[in-house]
């Protein structure tokens, strides 16, 4: 949605405030910039964690949007984000419920796709990694599954060096951390992040294009507080829904998915996350996305059939399919 349209939604001149996983230079930062056309009329506010992106949007009425990573094309779900949505359907106290339907405080209004080009980053231009007994590599935990081959190659290249992965709250935070590490004999601190994070922190890019898979892409969701105003868009629209099945009987999931089939609704993704309902283990919240064809479709009947088969269900939003989905 263009920034001009945003100002129409919010009234001319109101500064739009958008949260992202910071500090500046993260891929989440890139996603926020893409969403708002790099406009300098938007205040991009870094947070220290993905949960903070959601919690602040829910509680601070001055915040308009939040951008969170949802999944990566190489190593799948960003479980931190999935679990935030899951918990807002099944675990939150005082849920706003209408029957089995949960009406969350937030809604999904958009998506962004960011090309992930990881680099190995150091505080010096060409460190001789093999000269160190230990290389401490900092990055966001989601990154390790995107560079596993590269890390194996490093270990093969320097068999006498120990490579240790250290989780950071984000890729750009990882770069900041190596700037603040005190030097220890025989140990070097490096980070894996994007080139922008290296430049913003005046660090050196030691290796580029270290993703296991070329075209590595992370998908982000754009959320706002639910304002009941449906921002209609021309492009194909996608609905994101979470649900749990009433029964554990064989076919209970199929029965729910059959509702989509009988209504001719095209599902484009399905995921699940575990949750514990009381003492029962191995219960799942399902996440489905489907194309929202609203030409004269009787969605009320569709929702009523879901109501009959689901213990909880939650429509998180109907939002435009970003053209980069097809890239």
Ligand X SMILES: O=C(O)C(=O)C[C@]1(C(=O)O)C=C[C@@H](O)C=C1
User: 81 or 239, CB closer to ligand X?
Assistant: 81
Q: What is the dihedral of CA 8, 11, 13, 17, to 10 degrees?
A: -90
Applying CB under 6 A, among 26, 123, 201, 239 the residue interacting with ligand X is: 26
DSSP state of 295: S
Contact stretch for ligand X (CB under 6 A) within 20-28, 88-96, 305-313, 318-326: 20-28
CB of 299 to ligand X, least distance (A): 32
Residue 28 contacts ligand X per CB under 6 A:
yes
CA angle 266/269/275 to nearest 5° reads: 130
CB of 49 to ligand X, least distance (A): 10
User: 191 or 253, CB closer to ligand X?
Assistant: 191
User: 82 or 243, CB closer to ligand X?
Assistant: 82
- Residue with structure tokens 């089995």? 100
Residues 6+ apart with CB under 8 A from 21: 28, 29, 46, 47, 49, 50, 53, 67, 68, 69, 169, 170
The candidate with the shortest Cα–Cα distance to 3, out of 59, 43, 30, is 43
Q: How many residues does the chain have?
A: 327
Site for ligand X, residues 139 to 178, rule: CB under 6 A = 140, 142-143, 170-172
CB of 174 to ligand X, least distance (A): 8
Residue 137 contacts ligand X per CB under 6 A:
no
User: 28 or 35, CB closer to ligand X?
Assistant: 28
User: 45 or 306, CB closer to ligand X?
Assistant: 45
In the shown chain, the binding pattern of residues 208 to 247 toward ligand X, with x for contact by CB under 6 A and - for none, equals ----------x-----------------------------
Contact stretch for ligand X (CB under 6 A) within 22-30, 230-238, 273-281, 311-319: 22-30
Is-contact 321 111, C-beta < 8 A? Answer: yes
- Residue with structure tokens 């675990």? 91
Give the Cβ contact number of residue 269 at 10 Å. Answer: 13
The count of chain residues that interact with ligand X, using the rule CB under 6 A, is 15
User: 78 or 259, CB closer to ligand X?
Assistant: 78
Applying CB under 6 A, among 18, 33, 109, 116 the residue interacting with ligand X is: 116
3-state secondary structure of 53: helix
Site for ligand X, residues 271 to 300, rule: CB under 6 A = none
Contact stretch for ligand X (CB under 6 A) within 26-34, 158-166, 175-183, 250-258: 26-34
Longest CA span, the chain: 70
Strand order in the sheet with 204-207: 162-167, 134-139, 187-193, 119-122, 204-207
User: 29 or 101, CB closer to ligand X?
Assistant: 29
Give the Cβ contact number of residue 28 at 10 Å. Answer: 29
CB of 38 to ligand X, least distance (A): 17
- Residue with structure tokens 């996350």? 273
DSSP string, 207-243: E----SSTT-EEEEEEEEE--S-----SS-EEEEEEE
CB of 22 to ligand X, least distance (A): 9
CA angle 284/216/28 to nearest 5° reads: 75
CB of 230 to ligand X, least distance (A): 29
Site for ligand X, residues 61 to 80, rule: CB under 6 A = 69, 72, 78
Binding site for ligand X (CB under 6 A): 21, 26-28, 69, 72, 78, 116, 140, 142-143, 170-172, 218
């Amino acid at each position: 949605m263009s920034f001009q349209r945003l100002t129409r939604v919010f009234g001319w001149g109101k500064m739009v405030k958008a949260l992202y996983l910071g500090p500046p230079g993260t891929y989440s930062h890139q996603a926020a910039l893409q969403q708002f056309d790099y406009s300098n009329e938007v205040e991009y506010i870094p947070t220290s964690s993905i949960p903070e992106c959601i919690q602040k949007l829910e509680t601070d009425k001055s915040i308009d949007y939040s951008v969170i990573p949802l999944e990566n094309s190489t190593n799948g779900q960003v479980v931190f984000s999935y679990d935030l949505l899951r918990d807002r359907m099944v675990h939150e106290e005082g849920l706003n419920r209408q029957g089995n339907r949960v009406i969350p405080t937030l809604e999904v209004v958009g998506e962004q796709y960011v090309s992930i080009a990881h680099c190995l980053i150091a505080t010096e231009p060409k460190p001789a990694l093999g000269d160190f007994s230990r290389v401490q590599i900092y990055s966001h935990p989601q990154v390790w599954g995107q560079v596993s081959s590269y890390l194996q190659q490093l270990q093969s290249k320097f068999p006498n060096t120990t490579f240790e992965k250290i989780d950071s709250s984000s890729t750009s935070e990882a770069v900041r951390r190596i700037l603040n590490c005190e030097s220890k004999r025989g140990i070097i601190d490096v980070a894996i992040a994007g080139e922008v994070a290296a430049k913003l922190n005046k660090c050196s890019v030691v290796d580029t294009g270290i993703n296991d898979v070329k075209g590595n892409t992370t998908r982000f969701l754009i959320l706002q507080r639910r304002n009941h105003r449906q921002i209609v868009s021309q492009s194909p629209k996608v609905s994101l829904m979470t649900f749990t099945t009433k029964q554990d009987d064989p076919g209970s999931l199929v029965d729910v998915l059959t509702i989509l089939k009988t209504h001719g609704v095209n599902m484009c993704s399905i995921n699940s996350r575990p949750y514990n309902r009381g003492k029962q283990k191995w219960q799942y919240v399902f996440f489905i996305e489907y194309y929202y064809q609203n030409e004269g479709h009787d969605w009320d009947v569709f929702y009523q059939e879901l109501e009959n088969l689901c213990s909880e269900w939650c429509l998180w939003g109907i939002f435009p399919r970003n053209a980069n989905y097809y890239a």
